[in-house]
Structure 1
Amino acid sequence: MRREVRIIGAPTDYGANRRGVDMGPSAIRYAGLAAELDSLGRTCTDDGDLTVARAEERNPDAASTIGSAKFLREVREVCERLSEEVAATIADGAFPLVLGGDHSIAIGTMNGANRDADAGVVWFDAHADFNTPETSPSGNVHGMPLAAALGYGEFGEGWNPSAGIDPSNVALVGLRDLDEPERVAVRESDVTAFTMSDIDERGVGPVTEEALEVAADGTTGVHVSLDLDWLDPNEAPGVGTPVRGGVTYREAHAAMEIVADQGALRSLELVEVNPVLDERNETASLATELAASAFGKRVI
C-alpha cells in the first residue's frame, strides 16, 4: 500500500432519500482521521472536498429520462470529477481515501480506481446497491452504484457509468436488505454475494478472506467500499438506511484488519455517515477507527 494517503471529500446527498449525509466528510475529519493515519506512519494529504451544490438548489427530476432516478445529472457531474481525482491520485503514486457523501459516489471512485487497471471490488454493505433506474422503487441513486459501475441499466443523457470491472472479481459482504429485482439481478450476475447468514454460519474472518480472494484473483488491486450501514445500528446509528442485524464493532474491525493483511488494497471509500442522525459523532468516529484498521492499525 502506498505510504502517502490522499483524502478526497465528496459531500453529496443527491443519491440519498434523507438530507444530512453530505456532512459526512466533515464529521469523519472532525473525528480525527488525519491524526489516526499520521500515527500509523502514513503521510496524509487532505485535498479537501469537491464543490457540490446543495440538493435544494437543484431539480431532482431535471435529467430523469429513464425510470424514476433522481438527480442523475448532478450525480454524473460529481462522479466524473471524483473519477478524475482518484485516477490522478493513483497516477501520482498516492493512495485515494474517499469520504462520502452517499453511496452514489462509488461510481466515480470505481471509475477512477479502475482506469488503466483491472481492479476487483469488495462491497461491505447491508444493501446490494444493484438497482437500476428501471428497477429502483425509490429512484435514489445510492441504491444503484454497483450495478452502474458494472454496466447494468441505462442512465440516460449518453452517460455510461460503467467502470469496466469484471463482475467475477466483485464480492458483496454482509447483505441483509435487497429489493426483489436486486435479488434476481445478483443471482443472475457473476458477482459473489455473502449475506449476514453466511457471516453467522462461517464467521466474518473466513467470509472476508474469501471475498478478498475473489476480488484479488488476477487483478491489479482491490477497491474496498465501506458503507457504515453494514454495521448494526446499535454500533453505527448515524446512517440514512439502517437495517437491524448487521456486524458488530469487533467483527467490523476484524474484517478491516484482514483487508490490511491481504495487502492488495488499491483504494478505499467510507460512505453514508449522516451526522444529523448520529449520536455524539459516534458513527464518524467508528468510520475513522475502521479506516485505521484497514491501513494496518493493531492492538499490538
Structure 2
Amino acid sequence: MKKDISIFEFPFNLGLTKKEHEIEPGVKKLPDWLRKFGFHKEINPKNIFRLEAPEYAMDFDKETGVKNPYQIIEYAKKQSGLILKNFNIDTFHLILGGDCSILIGSALAFRQLGNFGLFYLDGHTDYIPPKLSPSGGVAGMDLAIVSGLGHQKLTNIDDLKPYFREEHIFCVGNAETDDDEYVGEILNSKIHYFDLENLRKNGFRKTAEDFLGMVDEKNLNGFFIHFDVDVLKDEIMPAVDSRMEDGIDYENLKEMLNPLIADERCFGLEITILDPDYDTEGLYTQPFIENLIQIINQPTKKI
C-alpha cells in the first residue's frame, strides 16, 4: 500500500550567502523548477501547500553570529505551523526547499509532534557553531542548530530545545573531511556520524538499517529524512551551492533511501540546495527527478 503524498513548498534562500555573480541564490526556484519538469504530476500529491519567503537579504547579526536570524526564525515558526496544521499520520510529507535552513522549521514541527529521529544525508556535516563559519550562513549550521548547538534564539525557539536529540540523529555522507576543526565538532557530539568513506565501508543499505534499528531501540514516534543534493557526485549533480567532487551515485541513494521510505514510520523527505540557475537546461535535474520518483513511489511496509 502506498501512502497519500502532500507536497510542502518552502522556496527559502536566506540561509545562504549570495555569490558575487548572483543577485540572490537560485535555490528558491526549486519547487517551481521541479514542477516544470513534471515532478508534481508524476508524484500526484493529494495536497500542495506553499509558504512564500521574505525578500532576500544578507543582514549579519552580531548577537547570534549569523546572517538573517530574525527572518529565519519567523519563517521557521510559520513553516512549522503550516506543517502542523496539515500533517496526517497516514500521509508522506514531501518538503521542497530552498536552502538547508528550512530544516529548522521542519524540526520545530516534529518536536511538537513527538520524539523523532533524523536521517541527515548531506555532503557536509553542517554541524558547526557560528565562530567556525566563514560566511555566517545558517544553511551551513542547520544540523547544529536543530540539535542544540548555537545561539539560544535559533536553537531554543518557543523553548523547544533541542528539536532533535543528538543520539537520535544519523549524519551521513560528509565529503568535507580535510578540516580537523570542522569534523571535530561532530566527532565530539553524540550524533551517529558516517562520513563518505565510512558510509562506503559500512554499506549504504546497512547504514539505513542501522538507523532503523536505532529508531526501534529508542522507541521513537517516527523519523524524517533531510536530503541535501550536494551529497551526490559532482558529475551527476553540480547544480549546488557548495560543490564537492566526491559523493554518492543514484544506485547508492536508492540502497539507502528505499528501506527508509518504505518504512511506515517515515514521516517524510526534505529536499534542499538544488539550484536551477546552475542547470538551465535541466540536464541534471531530469535524471534526478526520474530516480527520486522511483524511490518515492514505492509501497509502504507495515512494521
Contact 1:10 1:105 in 2 (8 A): yes
Indicate which of 22, 31, 50 corresponds to 2:28: 22
Distance in 1, matches of 2:109 and 2:216, equals: 18
**Cα distance between partner residues in 2 of 1:97 and 1:194:** 24
Contact 2:149 2:155 (C-alpha < 8 Å) held by counterparts = no
Check if 1:235 corresponds to 2:233.
Answer: no
Q: CA deviation at 1:221?
A: 0.7
| Whole-Å separation in 1 of the counterparts to 2:37 and 2:238 | 15
Query: Match for residue 177 of structure 1?
Result: 176
Deviation at 1:155, TM superposition (A): 4.8
Root-mean-square deviation (CA, aligned residues, Å) is: 2.4
Work out the CA distance in 2 between the residues paired with 1:297 and 1:94: 13
* Residues 6 and 95 in structure 1, CA contact (< 8 A), matched pair in contact too: yes
| Cα-to-partner distance string for 1:31-73 (whole Å, 9 max, x where unaligned) | 22222223xxxx53112x3121221xx4512x44232x11111
Q: After superposition, where does 1:34-73 map in structure 2 within 5 Å?
A: 34-38=40-44, 43-47=45-49, 49-55=50-56, 58=57, 60-61=59-60, 63-67=61-65, 69-73=66-70
The correspondence of residues 1-300 of structure 1 with structure 2, limited to 5 A, is: 3-18=3-18, 19-38=25-44, 43-47=45-49, 49-55=50-56, 58=57, 60-61=59-60, 63-67=61-65, 69-90=66-87, 94-156=91-153, 160=157, 162-177=161-176, 180-217=180-217, 218-278=219-279, 280-297=281-298
**% of aligned pairs identical?**
21
The aligned amino acid for 2:85 is A
* Deviation per residue, 1:5-28 (Å, 9 max, x gap): 221111111111341111111112
Following the alignment from structure 1 to structure 2, what is the Cα–Cα distance between the partners of residues 182 and 2?
A: 40
Change (3 A) 1:202 1:103: same
In structure 2, the CA distance between the partners of 1:73 and 1:175, relative to structure 1 (3 Å rule), is same
- Residue segments in structure 1 that go unaligned for 5+ positions in a row: none
Looking at structure 2, the residues matched to 286 and 215 of structure 1 have their Cα atoms a distance apart, in angstroms, of: 31
- Larger mean CA deviation between 101-110 and 126-135 belongs to 126-135
Mark the CA change 1:170 to 1:2 in structure 2 (over 3 Å): closer, same or farther: farther
If the length of structure 1 is used for normalisation, what is the TM-score? 0.87
Q: Distance in 1 between matches of 2:294 and 2:161?
A: 30
Q: Tell me how far 1:158 sits from its aligned partner.
A: 9.4
Q: Give, in whole Å, the separation in 1 of the partners of 2:161 and 2:37.
A: 33
SS of equivalent to 1:171 = strand
For residues 102-131 of structure 1, give each alpha carbon's deviation from its aligned partner in whole angstroms, at most 9, with x where no partner exists. Answer: 000001111112313110000010111112
